[in-house]
A and B are shown apart, each in its own frame.
Chain A
Amino acid sequence: MIPITHFLGLAAVLFGLGLIGVLLRRNVLIVLMSVELMLNAANLTLITFARAHGQSHGQGFAFFVMALAAAEAAVGLAIVVAVFRSRRTVHVDEINLMKK
């Protein structure tokens, strides 16, 4: 049997990589992909603890997170397309209209 800590370690690595992607990339699409990666890592943690406790409530919650990720991707990508239409860019540093 695989120890529970291994799954938690994998989830932490995925979350860290997603966080690094969000912090360091400048292309807003890659930033959104990194956010998906972080949500995925959180899901993996939920499912791991569902297995560790032998109860499926964590899996139900992971299901909701998945639906939430779908909604987030739909709205996020719609905003990206709208911003690209008016500013002709997907560069995070150049999307600063709300600061002005």
Chain B
Amino acid sequence: MTIRKDRRQLSSHRRAERGAQLASRSERAGTHGTRGASPGRLTLSLLGGGLLLLLPLIALAQDARYVAAGAEAKAGGGMLWAFYIIGALTVAGAVATITRRNPITAAMCLVGTLAGTAGIYLLLHATFLAAMQVLVYAGAIMVLFVFVVMSVEHPEEEEILGRSYLNLGIAIAVLIVLFLRLFPLVMGPEALQIRPPAVAQDFGSVTHIGKLLFSDYIFPFEAISLLLLVAIVGAVVINRRRGERGGEA
């Protein structure tokens, strides 16, 4: 009787212990999931967030300039808003791709970016390429990525702004040059003057691109199919196990 009671007490004690362990593990997972774990990641997130906040401001300023420029220019205002909304989503996905620690999350954010780019292609009258973008990139390539992400293990902690100060310096230099070049490009006086010519209704359609690929670009087209074949064979050969190497004569 007493022994059984003891055992029951012991088991309940164990259960409590395990519960505490589980709680602490989930707590750890919780802190792992929240941001602020590493200063580098926080810096990148803040940078991306600031960039995102900047976009609506630019859009507002541009809209005001279009209104000032006249009614003819204002007619395309709705398209401009579409561009800014899709562009903001695209940039947000790209920022998330390079800041998320979990590769699955990063892959999903990259899918968002690729889909956003497909929307931008539609604004550029590239309908066939927009469809290809969704099918090939967001479909095939990203499925491959997610498959590989799931089949390899990942380190628990990854310092994003690692020990490589040279790389950090290069990245900051690229950012500075980019913004010094971009700001006058988008906001400068010539931005309103450069206007794309009017194109035919079937510009960028399947027929249009198909005719192009099978007349002017027939040789590159065949070359790229050979490249894809070589890539497939290469992927299989690289991943063959060592023991199978001597298998065939």
A36–B239 alpha-carbon span in the complex (Å): 22
A1–B221 alpha-carbon span in the complex (Å): 33
Q: Kindly provide the distance from the CB of A67 to the nearest chain B CB, expressed in whole angstroms.
A: 5
For the complex, is B61 an interface residue (Cβ under 8 Å from A)? Answer: no
For the complex, is B117 an interface residue (Cβ under 8 Å from A)? Answer: yes
Instruction: List residues of chain A with CB within 8 A of the CB of B227.
Output: 67-68, 71
Main secondary structure on chain A at its contact with chain B? Answer: helix
Instruction: List residues of chain A with CB within 8 A of the CB of B67.
Output: none
Are B152 and A80 interface neighbours, CB within 8 A? yes
Instruction: List residues of chain B with CB within 8 A of the CB of A1.
Output: 76, 79, 195-196
Are B126 and A47 interface neighbours, CB within 8 A? yes
Please tell me the number of chain B residues within 8 Å of chain A, measured between CB atoms.
92
Q: Kindly provide the distance from the CB of B107 to the nearest chain A CB, expressed in whole angstroms.
A: 7
Instruction: List residues of chain B with CB within 8 A of the CB of A98.
Output: none
Q: Chain A, 31-49, contact with B by CB distance < 8 Å: what is the 0/1 string?
A: 0111011001001100110
Are A2 and B76 interface neighbours, CB within 8 A? yes
> Knowing A2-B76, A26-B159, A37-B97 touch, does A90 contact B154 (C-beta < 8 A)?
yes
18 CB-based A-B contacts, threshold 8 Å: A1-B195, A2-B76, A2-B123, A5-B191, A7-B120, A10-B120, A33-B97, A40-B113, A40-B117, A43-B117, A52-B196, A63-B209, A63-B213, A69-B136, A78-B234, A78-B236, A81-B151, A82-B238
Known: A57-B212, A62-B129, A74-B232. 18 other contacts (CB 8 A): A1-B196, A5-B188, A12-B182, A19-B174, A20-B98, A20-B175, A21-B98, A24-B161, A50-B124, A56-B212, A59-B129, A60-B213, A68-B227, A69-B136, A71-B227, A71-B230, A78-B238, A85-B239
Q: Which residues of B contact A (CB under 8 A)?
A: 40, 44, 51, 76, 79-80, 83, 87, 90-91, 94-95, 97-98, 103, 106-107, 110, 113-114, 117, 120-121, 123-126, 128-129, 132-133, 136-137, 140-141, 144-145, 148-149, 151-155, 158-162, 164, 167-168, 170-171, 174-175, 178, 181-182, 185-186, 188, 190-192, 194-199, 203-204, 208-209, 212-213, 216-217, 220-221, 224, 227-228, 230-232, 234-236, 238-239
Q: Which residues of A contact B (CB under 8 A)?
A: 1-10, 12-14, 16-21, 23-27, 29-30, 32-34, 36-37, 40, 43-44, 47-48, 50-54, 56-57, 59-60, 62-64, 66-75, 77-82, 84-85, 88-91, 93
User: Top 7 nearest A-B pairs by Cβ distance?
Assistant: A21-B98, A71-B231, A78-B235, A23-B167, A1-B76, A54-B197, A17-B94
